[in-house]
Amino acid sequence: EPEVTQTPSHQVTQMGQEVILRCVPISNHLYFYWYRQILGQKVEFLVSFYNNEISEKSEIFDDQFSVERPDGSNFTLKIRSTKLEDSAMYFCASRAGQGFTEAFFGQGTRLTVV
């Protein structure tokens, strides 16, 4: 069964460092998302991506964040200068189309900023 894959599963980084989280969405899906979940809190939307551009972003997704689909298969989230409060599980998701279709989530990357 097709699945969304994320790497790495766990990333530890020092405050102020740049991190890149990687995702391979399900092939032939058109909509891509990043969500995060801080420990014990709700799943929060960060950004959606369609047709090689950001279609929507939340207030969390500030100038420190960027997304890219460099080669037609990978979908990356970059955090330029990590802060302690960026520590969370980051989930990538993809969706086949618009309208009434579900999103499929990856297993997540646990980011720990020390």
Partner 1 sequence: DQQVKQNSPSLSVQEGRISILNCDYTNSMFDYFLWYKKYPAEGPTFLISISSIKDKNEDGRFTVFLNKSAKHLSLHIVPSQPGDSAVYFCAASYGYGQNFVFGPGTRLSVLP
Q: Which residue ranges make up the site for partner 1 (CB under 8 A)? A: 4, 6, 31, 33, 35, 41-45, 48, 50, 55-56, 58, 91, 93, 95, 98-100, 102-108, 110
Which is nearer to partner 1, 14 or 41 (by Cβ)? 41
Please report how close the Cβ of residue 92 comes to partner 1 at its closest, in angstroms: 8
Please choose, from the candidates 32, 16, 20, the residue with its C-alpha nearest in 3D space to the C-alpha of residue 104. Answer: 32
Which is nearer to partner 1, 65 or 105 (by Cβ)? 105
Please report how close the Cβ of residue 16 comes to partner 1 at its closest, in angstroms: 27
Which is nearer to partner 1, 16 or 97 (by Cβ)? 97
Which is nearer to partner 1, 61 or 82 (by Cβ)? 61
Q: Per-residue DSSP letters for 76-102?
A: EEEESS--GGG-EEEEEEEESSSSS--
Please report how close the Cβ of residue 80 comes to partner 1 at its closest, in angstroms: 22
Strand-strand pairing, 43-50 and 75-79: unpaired
Please report how close the Cβ of residue 48 comes to partner 1 at its closest, in angstroms: 5
CA distance 38 to 96: 27
Distance of CA 58 to CAs 18, 54, 61, Å?
Answer: 20, 11, 5
One-letter amino acid of 99: G
